Every structure is written in C-alpha cells, then in structure tokens.
A and B are shown apart, each in its own frame.
Chain A
C-alpha cells in the first residue's frame, strides 16, 4: 500500500500556454478511493499520466510511498494503470494479457499461471482466458484490463475513466462492482472521471478540478453541501445550484432546497421568494420546475426548483407561487473571487 503526494505539480505542454495541470498539491490516504472529477479538458488525465510516469512534469514533485519518483521510469514506479481505451494487447490472448506484467517481472511460469488464474477468477473471466481481446464485449474487456492491473498486486491503482466505454446499464453495475472490488483488495486507488454520479458514488474523497487546478478536495458530502467556490457549486448537482447575485454577493441554493413555503416547518428561519413558474419537467421520481423570481433581492433572475413527484402540489405556469429557502441552506460567495464567504443579511 502506498500514498501518493504531489507538490506544486505543473504541466505546460507549450511555452506561454495556460497549464494543462497547474500547481496541484494532493495527498491520498492509505487504501483510499480518491476520485479526480472535472469537466473534459480539466487536466485529469495529464495529472494521472504524470503520476504513472508517462508524462514529465514541467515542475513540482511526485512522491509515492515516501519516495520521490520524478526521475523513475513507469516500470520502476510499480503501479498499475487502467487506460480509458483499456489498451489490451490485441495479439495476445486474455491469459497472455493478464500474464504480461508478471512476465515483465520475470516471474516463473508456474507461479505466473497461478496468479493469472487467481486474478481472472476474481473478476469472473476464468473461462475467457483463451480468447483474443477482439472476441470480447466491452464489459469483458474492462474486466481483462482490471485483471491485468491487479495481477501483480500493485501498491497503487490508477484508473482513467474505465467505465466510460460501457453502456449506461452496464456502467451502473460495473460501478458498484468496481467499488466492492476496491474495498476487497484495499489498494490505494486514484480514479478519474467526468461523471459526477460516479464520483459521488465511489469516492472516499473527491478532488474537483477545473482548468488544470484543484478547486476543492473533500468527501462527496463536503463538495456537494459545502462547495468552496462557484465552479464547484455549479459543476456538482443536476440541475446545478441556483447562483443569484444580490447586494454585492453571490447567493447559492440547491434546487432541492427551494420549496413551496407551505412545505417548510413554520419555525424554520426562511428566505421567502415569489416564484413565477414557467415550465415543468416530469422525470418520474422527481419534478424540475423552471421559473423567474419576482420582487425581493433577486428580481427577474431565473431559478430552478426540484421536488419529489410524490408532492401533491401543482404549479400552474405563468402564475406566481410562494416559495422559500431555509436560511441554513443559503451559501454565500464573494462576487469578485467567486469563493465562499460569510453569510450575511440580504436586503
């Protein structure tokens, strides 16, 4: 087991350009499932590749298990990586693929077979050992890639969007399985994804990245409930947090905290808002209501409310309804720096 630490890690692909990864300080914990979450192009893959030794940092340090690894080759870092494309060796069988890392370590043939069998059985692909990668389905390929990664019992696991090539249904079950699997083997894992549902579901902690920089690190609940800046607030949640400007601050509240006044307890301190409904989306388990705020501090701004479909109330379009947000659910952000600030009274 090993922890990974980066110090001021930066990657510039071309001089004078903004960095693909900018000054990243990160520290994983023993056996942790750490998720790198960010939109496409935010530098997640580049960060992962630097840790693996496939990309040379422009500046900064990488430590794995207490050793500075900047000058070590990928081979010397002794980590395992699952690529987004799986990168299976097309000319080798499944067995050949799984055995390859052991062969590279010059493990004797018998032991190699035993280990490969163990890894294959663990992932339920024992009967596929004789097949070539092109004879496998997407889900089976992903398992082969995982088996190839765990077979040498690495101290660190890097996964780059391993589920993004699977169809939606398979993805949900694979996510669950992968999570169980990681708990079982207990290997420190860094997992890259742009899918917030995956990040929230799987991560012990989530690292939210944007434009190469880390915006926030915390448990899924931390980053969702206490976003440190407007980017994190807007990136997480679907639909995202309502961010409205008033009295020199940005005020945020999640759509699920924006209720009809009647639904809130009478003794709860609330901010009352007049909400003109525009249109509603029915999503089965829940309803999303889009509209415009009228009067008060946010006159004319758009807002979104999200409520359970079991709520009986109906909201006729183009009618003003009484809505409210509990004061404790309001988040305040500095208007210039877009970072969290103290709550304050709204006019």
Chain B
C-alpha cells in the first residue's frame, strides 16, 4: 500500500459519494437522535402510569442485537412484503402497484437507513440525557419557575445549557459510532441502489474484503481517522468550555 492507493481513492467517484453519504448519514441521524432523545427523556422523566413499561420499550432496540433489529426492519420495508406498504394500500393512501420502494429508490433508501439507524441509537442517547436531567438539582428549575420563567425558557435557558457537557458526550459517541458503523446499511441496502447509500466503512468493507483489494480498502478506512480526531477534539473542547458546575 502506498501513496498511489490514496490518490486513486481520491479520484474514485464512488469514494467521494461514500464520503458525502457518510456525512449525510451521520449528521442527519445524529440530529434526529438528539431531538428524539430529548423529547423522549422529557416524557420519561415525569412520573406517569406505565412509565416503567414505556422505559422498557424504549430500551429494547438497544438491548436487541442490531442485526436482528435491522432484519426486522428489512422485512418491514421490503419491496415485496413491506408491512408499511400493505398498511398504506389498505388505507388507500398509495396504489398497490406504485407503492414506494423504500430500499430501492436512492432518496427513500437513504431516508430509510437514517431512520433505522436513528431507531437503533435512540435508547443510548435517551438514557444519557435522562441521566443528565436527573442530575440537575430539583430546586434550580423550581427557582426558575418562581423567577417567572415558563416551560420553554426553563428548558432552553436553564436545563439544556446545564446539560450541555453531557449532551456533548452523547453526540461525540453517537458521531464516532455512526461514522464507523455499517451494520444497518449492510443489512438493509448493501450500499445500494447504485452506491447511493454507500458510506466509508461499508465501501471499505466491500472493496477490501469482498473485492479483495485490501490496500485500497485500508486506504479508504484511513480517511476515517483524521475526521474522527477532528470531531473528538471539537467535542472535548466545547465540553471543556461549557464548564458547568
């Protein structure tokens, strides 16, 4: 493996597309995870009947192996037996023979892998954010309420800023994990259709292992390193700057 591996990789349109996909996949899923986890944590931090059961349900995707979950999703989204399409057809929302091909059309396929990956990442992030919320002393939001702050001001000016360091950690782990993971994509689309959902790890795998071009596969995966270092550095810096408590 030498320099020519890198130059050939950089000129390869499949690589450039995978690089872009990796960013789209990571950023989109992490934004969804962040928003989703905060909403879930917000619901779960209050006592309500059935809260234990709800917490159990939400933790389920985390406990179950990704591969099994993704296979379940593959069946749900499958072109022939899609459960979603079956429901949509029965509700007369789409026609039987022009039902969306969730994993067969580039945009839909990307959307599907992002959503399934979000589903998989959500529990971990929710648990971390829930812990962060629980760690805020109760009298601080109470003081804010007496000071005249409504729900949104309490949340966006007091509670979320206080949780920033912990949210940063959640995002850092999420980004690193997502950027280097290919399970969901491997099972759902294998990078297809036409490499439109190919990300760097899956491309490295297909090129290096299945395509037997180990050098080029390694060159692709080495591109992950500086990106991950940059992300880690950014996150640690912002966590340090927040310096809460």
Q: Which A residues contact B (CB, under 8 angstroms)?
A: 52-54, 73-75, 77-81, 83, 85, 87, 89-91, 100-101, 103-105, 132, 134, 148, 152
Complex-state Cα separation, A184 to B243, whole angstroms: 38
Query: Could you write out 9 A-B pairs with CB less than 8 Å apart?
Result: A53-B145, A75-B149, A83-B142, A85-B137, A87-B139, A87-B143, A101-B147, A101-B148, A104-B153
Pair B158/A89 contact, Cβ less than 8 Å: yes
Q: Provide the residues of chain B in CB contact with A74, threshold 8 Å.
A: 142, 145-146
Pair B144/A100 contact, Cβ less than 8 Å: yes
Q: Provide the residues of chain A in CB contact with B150, threshold 8 Å.
A: 75, 104
Write out, one digit per residue, whether chain B residues 229-245 have a CB within 8 A of any chain A CB (1) or not (0).
Answer: 00000000000001111
Complex-state Cα separation, A24 to B142, whole angstroms: 23
Q: Which B residues contact A (CB, under 8 angstroms)?
A: 137, 139-140, 142-150, 153, 157-158, 161-162, 164, 242-245
Minimum CB–CB distance from B140 to chain A (whole Å) comes to 5
Given contacts A83-B139, A87-B142, A134-B245, contact A104 B147 (CB under 8 A): yes
Q: Provide the residues of chain A in CB contact with B243, threshold 8 Å.
A: 132
Pair B162/A90 contact, Cβ less than 8 Å: yes
Q: Provide the residues of chain A in CB contact with B140, threshold 8 Å.
A: 87, 89-90
Cβ-closest chain B residue relative to A90: B245
B-side interface mostly: helix
Q: Which of B143, B153, B244 contacts A91 (CB 8 A)?
A: B244
**Top 5 A-B pairs ranked by shortest CB distance?**
A104-B148, A87-B143, A101-B147, A87-B139, A74-B145
Complex-state Cα separation, A87 to B149, whole angstroms: 14
Pair A91/B146 contact, Cβ less than 8 Å: no
Pair A54/B142 contact, Cβ less than 8 Å: yes
Q: Which of B146, B162, B244 contacts A52 (CB 8 A)?
A: B146
Minimum CB–CB distance from B191 to chain A (whole Å) comes to 43
Minimum CB–CB distance from A330 to chain B (whole Å) comes to 46
Cβ-closest chain A residue relative to B139: A87
Complex-state Cα separation, A91 to B146, whole angstroms: 18
Q: Provide the residues of chain A in CB contact with B149, threshold 8 Å.
A: 75, 100, 104
Given contacts A83-B139, A87-B139, A89-B158, contact A100 B147 (CB under 8 A): yes
Complex-state Cα separation, A83 to B143, whole angstroms: 8
Minimum CB–CB distance from B187 to chain A (whole Å) comes to 42
Pair B143/A90 contact, Cβ less than 8 Å: no
Complex-state Cα separation, A89 to B160, whole angstroms: 12
Q: Provide the residues of chain B in CB contact with A78, threshold 8 Å.
A: 148
Minimum CB–CB distance from B135 to chain A (whole Å) comes to 12
Given contacts A85-B137, A104-B153, contact A91 B161 (CB under 8 A): yes
Cβ-closest chain B residue relative to A78: B148
Q: Provide the residues of chain A in CB contact with B244, threshold 8 Å.
A: 90-91
Cβ-closest chain A residue relative to B140: A87
Pair A75/B148 contact, Cβ less than 8 Å: yes
Given contacts A54-B142, A104-B153, contact A87 B148 (CB under 8 A): no
Beyond the given A54-B145, A100-B157, A104-B147, could you list 16 further A-B residue pairs with CB under 8 A, ordered by the A residue number?
A: A53-B146, A74-B142, A75-B149, A80-B146, A80-B147, A83-B139, A83-B143, A85-B137, A85-B139, A89-B140, A90-B162, A91-B244, A100-B144, A103-B157, A134-B245, A148-B147
Most A CB contacts (10 A, CB to CB) among B137, B157, B161, B164 go to B157
Most B CB contacts (10 A, CB to CB) among A52, A77, A89, A152 go to A89
Cβ-closest chain A residue relative to B148: A104
Complex-state Cα separation, A313 to B148, whole angstroms: 62
Pair B242/A75 contact, Cβ less than 8 Å: no
Minimum CB–CB distance from A77 to chain B (whole Å) comes to 8
Minimum CB–CB distance from A4 to chain B (whole Å) comes to 15
Complex-state Cα separation, A89 to B244, whole angstroms: 10
Complex-state Cα separation, A83 to B144, whole angstroms: 11
Q: Provide the residues of chain B in CB contact with A152, threshold 8 Å.
A: 148
Given contacts A81-B143, A85-B139, A104-B153, contact A91 B162 (CB under 8 A): yes
Cβ-closest chain B residue relative to A151: B147
Q: Which of B137, B161, B164, B242 contacts A87 (CB 8 A)?
A: B137
Complex-state Cα separation, A81 to B157, whole angstroms: 19
Q: Provide the residues of chain B in CB contact with A81, threshold 8 Å.
A: 143, 146
Minimum CB–CB distance from A289 to chain B (whole Å) comes to 45
Cβ-closest chain A residue relative to B158: A89
Q: Provide the residues of chain B in CB contact with A53, threshold 8 Å.
A: 145-146
Minimum CB–CB distance from B209 to chain A (whole Å) comes to 47
Q: Which of A52, A89, A134 contacts B144 (CB 8 A)?
A: A89
Complex-state Cα separation, A214 to B146, whole angstroms: 25
Cβ-closest chain A residue relative to B245: A90
Q: Provide the residues of chain A in CB contact with B162, threshold 8 Å.
A: 89-91
Cβ-closest chain A residue relative to B162: A91
Q: Provide the residues of chain A in CB contact with B137, threshold 8 Å.
A: 85, 87
Complex-state Cα separation, A85 to B153, whole angstroms: 22
Most A CB contacts (10 A, CB to CB) among B148, B150, B162, B242 go to B148
Minimum CB–CB distance from B1 to chain A (whole Å) comes to 48
Complex-state Cα separation, A342 to B156, whole angstroms: 62
Q: Provide the residues of chain B in CB contact with A79, threshold 8 Å.
A: 146
Complex-state Cα separation, A81 to B148, whole angstroms: 11
Q: Provide the residues of chain A in CB contact with B164, threshold 8 Å.
A: 91
